[in-house]
A and B are shown apart, each in its own frame.
Chain A
């Protein structure tokens, strides 16, 4: 069974640009969550999608958005990038039956210059 796949693994952007990150969950998993990981703030919850609907959202500005497609694949977008957006963005999928039982991808490391 294939794991959670995130693309791209690494990317470099400049301030003001936008970025789109992609996540393919484990087959059969309908819940996809996104987290931002930084050395200073640790793991912070961005949002969760279940069956194409956002059902939970963290405390991030509106520049951070996401969506989920009918095949459960998810994308997150960050517009008007700031230096502080440099981070490892982790996607996690789950069946959704037990909150917290997550399967993580290896992450997309974003560097904003």
Chain B
């Protein structure tokens, strides 16, 4: 069975500092991997995704994540955070082989930015 572990429930960082949000998954098959972001009082938005090809994927607002198959990880990074990045971030995995799969979300990491 698939599972997703986000190792940190909360990550406080100072503005303009770098940040890494950790995500590990377990699956017996090939997977698609996603990061979603939830701003306060809103639904989730897709931030970036790994489907195939380059293992390094980027978002339009400066986040990047790298798929590491040997370590079964998909950590999210940003070299310099902004106050507007304050949100909860969810890592998610889905089964590559099935068109009717359940998408499994991690428990979320709350990123708080200090000025």
Contact = CB atoms under 8 A, between A and B. Distances in A.
A43 B32 contact: no
Interface in A4-43: 4, 33, 35, 42-43
A106 B42 contact: yes
Contacts of A100: 32, 34, 49, 92-94, 101, 103
Contacts of B105: 35, 42-43
Contact of B44 (A45, A99, A104): A104
B84 interface: no
Contacts of A35: 105
Interface in B1-58: 32, 34, 36, 41-46, 49, 51
Interface in B86-109: 90, 92-96, 98-108
Contacts of B107: 42
A101 to B, nearest CB: 7
Contact of A101 (B34, B95, B99, B102): B34
A45 B44 CA distance: 14
B29 to A, nearest CB: 12
Interface residues of B, number: 28
Interface stretch (A50-58, A61-69, A70-78, A79-87): A50-58
A101 B49 contact: yes
Interface of A: 4, 33, 35, 42-43, 45, 48, 50, 55-56, 58, 90, 92, 96, 98-107
Given A100-B49, A100-B103, 7 more contacts: A90-B43, A96-B99, A100-B34, A101-B34, A105-B43, A106-B43, A107-B43
A-B pairs, 5 with minimum CB distance: A100-B94, A104-B43, A99-B94, A43-B105, A104-B44
Interface of B: 32, 34, 36, 41-46, 49, 51, 90, 92-96, 98-108
